[in-house]
Amino acid sequence: MSGGPPGNGHRFAPERLLSLGVDPHDVNTEAKRIHNIAPDPVRLSFPDGATVELEVRMAEFFQEAFQGEGVDGEGRTYRLVSDGTDDPLVAGRETDDGWETVGEVVTVERAGAGES
């Protein structure tokens, strides 16, 4: 067993937030859900009712700040960012011309949850 930091070698930072020195109450709730569900796929919902399912590639915290990345079924890359509890989780999507803002993520759930 190596003396390195805990983890699985991926960028999912599977350690509990407390073990990383982060108070779970100081992070965005929806970002915390992505972190807890990853690497399983997630479904994100936006205020206009739109949803997207993503295969999560990366989900990590740096103190209260969150960064995540995933790919939808059409191969488009999404980036997710939040600076903490009072800051919304915002999604952006890569386009041929750069990045466009998709909007604030209002709910996160495991993809396929609630489907029959």
The C-alpha atoms of residue 14 and residue 38 are separated, in whole angstroms, by 9
CA dihedral 84, 34, 62, 81 (to 10 degrees): -60
Res. 107: pLDDT tops 60: yes
Structural domain includes residue 5: no
Q: pLDDT for 76-106, tens place per residue?
A: 999 999 987 778 999 999 999 999 999 999 9
Structural domain includes residue 63: yes
Say what the pTM is.
0.76
Q: Quick one: CA dihedral 19, 24, 28, 29, positive or negative? A: positive
What range does the domain containing 43 cover?
A: 17-109
Reading the block at residue 111, the tokens are 């993809």
Structural domain includes residue 34: yes
Q: pLDDT for 14-25, tens place per residue?
A: 444 444 555 555
